[in-house]
Amino acid sequence: MTTNEFDQDAAGAADLGKLEENLEKLEGLTKRLAKVMSHKRNVPASLQGPGQDLYMKAATAYMAEMMHNPAKMIEHQVGYWGKTLKHYVEAQNQIAHGKLEPPEDTGPSDPRFSNPLWDSHPFFNFMKQQYLLNAEAMQESLGGLEGLSERDRQRLDYFSRQIVDMLAPTNFLATNPDALEKAVETQGQSLVDGLENLVRDLEANQGELIVSLADKSAFKVGENIGTTPGQVVFRNRMLELIQYTPTTETVHEIPLVIFPPWINKFYILDLNAQKSLIKWLVDQGFTVFVTSWVNPDASYADVTLDTYVEEGYLAAIEAAKTICGTKKVNTVGYCIAGTTLSATLGVMKRRKDTSINSATFFTTMTDFSDPGEVGVFLADDFVDGLEAECAATGILDRFYMARTFSFLRSNDLIYKPAIKSYMMGETPPAFDLLFWNGDGTNLPGKMAVQYLRELCQGNQLAAGGFNVCGETVDLKDVTVPLCAVACETDHIAAWKSSYRGVQQMGSKDKTFILAGSGHIAGIVNPPAKKKYGHWTNPEIGLTAEDWRDSADAHEGSWWPKWQAWLAEKSGKQVPARAPGGPGFEPICPAPGTYVSAAPKL
């Protein structure tokens, strides 16, 4: 035997040994998988998909279309079968002539099919083109149905797209060339690593699949994320109030109190020194307070929006005023916290409380007459299920919120990361924004149902009046100077809906800014990055479409424009304030304890 032959045999034996080792690992992982699935979370059927009435309406509309307009249906079917059969014949013809290459591919470009094999390999190209033809046929068939309300049409379109996206050939190992190539290159190690990732995610979520989007071991709040210096200066059962340490010798007299959403953690505004809106505001000479909301457990079951207003907003505002020795504060509300800030301003107006000098709303919905994409989950079938879940457990578990928002961008937030993690065996990236995205919180049961029923479904702030803290308020009660920032591609708070809410507010001093990008990236957009432009237009009376068409475009971040607006509302310069004061001595350093405390479940 030659040395070369010996080396080849040794390499083959090593590969075989590696394969056997991986097979043993697969056996162990399979046992873990079976164990976690045997204790799978019981998710009510009402929260697994839309009610059967939606499909019955679609089926009825389809049958009516067949009866009353058969030519249209026949034309659609003939067109679909014609394209499918033509492509099949062309593929067969290539093989018959000895050409191991696909027929001409004139289909649309799709980032899911970026591997060159999707275009050059006969099998993969056939799978891709047939999938795209089927997807097109389904969308055209359902999109052309008559006899459905616009809301039902939107929901049918959304949930049918979910099915189409789920069935993409990229989502299956046997038809994903990237995953197959990686498995061969690694002697199956990628599949072992992928199964390990899958089992880990299932174990972390009681058998339900929530894809890990970021490497959780890469971040620790207070160490490399959420690190702007400050002190917790007030605490109650609802929040910790953080006051940040000044970095300038003087500051604006009127402090700023920021209310982040309690669906996630406040440090989205303090990811790191380069991205932190909080640090940037401190460096511009503002005294900044931020609320860090509690992560509620079942003991918070009876907490309502009244509690958030009284023990959250009003308590934080009073503390900031006392600490700074001012009669007024400026405020910011982000997402659901902006909606609740609107209600709080109404309560304060009814009580003749003039503590708010100005209000800023980040990606805030107050008029839910057209809630946009998220509206597909606001029908009774889902809300009834959530209400039953809240009644049974006392909370709305963060699992449901995470899953809902992920499905609004399923290709980006479910299937793409699932392919990389479970098929390719890759470790999730060390990405701070995605780490934050996975660090959600529970919601008190009554508060969640109240928000869904009265504000989202009932649209009471914009139509009829919303009862909160013993007062009936509506958008006309928001009379302080205001600035609203919406995001162009926001899939949670549609910018046009945000704009319509601002139009109905009673303030005579309104500024509306449309930022590029989405719900998070559009807000967390520091000037130094020079990303995403923004648009302004003082004519708030226009329709949303006309406002956008006639708006002035600006390059880069909206932060400096808002900072100039806020500075005008913030008074003269005074000596910088150290955190805390008499009766509000510092309790602990920022980011506090609530941000990392787990609920007692």
Contact in structure between 510 and 536 (CB atoms under 8 Å): no
CB half-sphere exposure, 3, CA atoms < 13 A: 0
Read off the tokens for 48.
Answer: 């697994």
Q: Are the beta carbons of 321 and 353 closer than 8 angstroms?
A: no
SS3 249: coil
Asked if 271 contacts 524 with a C-beta cutoff of 8 angstroms, the reply is: yes
- Encoded tokens for 27: 């056996």
Bridge partners (DSSP) of residue 362 are 334, 485
Burial class (CB in 10 A: 0-12, 13-18, 19+), 354: exposed
Please give the angle made by the CA atoms of 513, 517 and 520, to the nearest 5 degrees: 90
Structure tokens at 194: 């992928």
CA 503 – CA 475 distance, rounded (Å):
9
Look at strands 510-515 and 482-487 and give their pairing. parallel
DSSP annotation of 269 reads G
**335 part of the active site:** yes
- Catalytic residue from among 324, 335, 390, 456: 335
Dist CA 323 CA 581 (whole Å): 6
DSSP label at 250? E
Q: What angle do CA 25, 27, 29 make, to 5 degrees?
A: 70
**Within 144-261, where are the H helices?**
150-166, 177-185, 189-204
The residues annotated with a catalytic role in the active site are 335
